[in-house]
Structure 1
């Protein structure tokens, strides 16, 4: 009885800040400006299919880079001593203590045509590179801002791993590659899935990074939604429809990812 009473504030919080906004998004998505039911908003989302594809593609690239870079870093951190681990984890989290906009502005200063990087290249007699307002700059901004969300769950999964299982695999004659593929990676799959989800979801729906580093030529779903609610194209009904479709796509992607986290993952890593 006491536990049920203690959960009431959390239920109220979820109802006010999650359930009610979701209901409002659905209502706006299926109504017009006069409040009448319509499917025109959902149908109109189809004309922005190229924006959806671009967002998913860039988000997937950023997520893949975060995984490739974050996994070795998380493994290295998990293999160090307890005191060193705390320091390295703090260094991973340190950029997150700074305001998101300031971190993105810093990359604008670095990537501009007359920015720090191009100034250094010119000083060395090398040709300047056009990096700002490109898809590459958007992906770079995503990776920089979201890679901690990949490293931390991976580190958590790797740090909790029973190293006696790895030693047993080595004693049975498995080489390093086979130990990684058959033991370490399967046992860390929950962290991989959590990291992919935590990076992919904000990367697909971001709008600040694409607006500041990508310019107008790299419009993403987040920018499109922002324009419908706050821009000159003010149309909250269409913006809600786009948001609803985006949520459905993200849920589908998460459902696909969860298919890889089955019983074999929890008991995996034992077959050499």
Structure 2
């Protein structure tokens, strides 16, 4: 789905300006959202956020914000019940809610916010903080095409957006891309430890492992080739990489089986938290 600055809302309220909310806000401004159209609501804004709002001309914690085109929920999920009464008063009949609250379904939101209508539930991940995020998003039947375009323009300011045919897929998205950065970070840890075990000084192994994974990730980002082709391109028959891959790709206890088990465990936990 294509988006452009023309799809950005005229007015937006951001509820919760922590690390993820703040990163999203910066992305919106970069793609053309007018600062004067943004209101930030946060009971304990950081000094940096307070300064940022002042410098950009963004309203911070006004007494009674007008009902916006879009209200973005970026608070901690456990804060929803406490904030619901006030949030309900900020919603207009045409306000689109975009929620990034982990474990809170569209049904949860509608149950706690009787004035809510159109809702987008989104699951971004940590790289959104540097504009390289991967977000899965689902809508309810009240979301119009214009509102979907607004949501896409906002969410895509921090990376790619994949629209899901059903909210039921959010838990799988959480297990793959939501939790996925931690899997990659752990890969770097394991690779560095293996390098040290092979005889490298620990600090050198750490630097090499980090540069290798970030470099491979950038190559994957820039290349149009499938990951399997990139793997094959760096694997000479009978060479060192092939020897390592024989271990990693061994069945039934290779990396594929471990990753399937890890994603399945994360998905189960996401389902438990949403239940």
TM-score category (smaller protein): under 0.3
Taking structure 1 as the reference length, the TM-score comes to 0.26
Asked which structure has the greater RCO (Cα within 8 Å, sep 6+), the reply is: 1
- The two structures have a TM-score, normalised by structure 2, of 0.25
Larger proportion of strand? 2
Larger radius of gyration: 1
Structure 1 or 2: larger helix share?
1
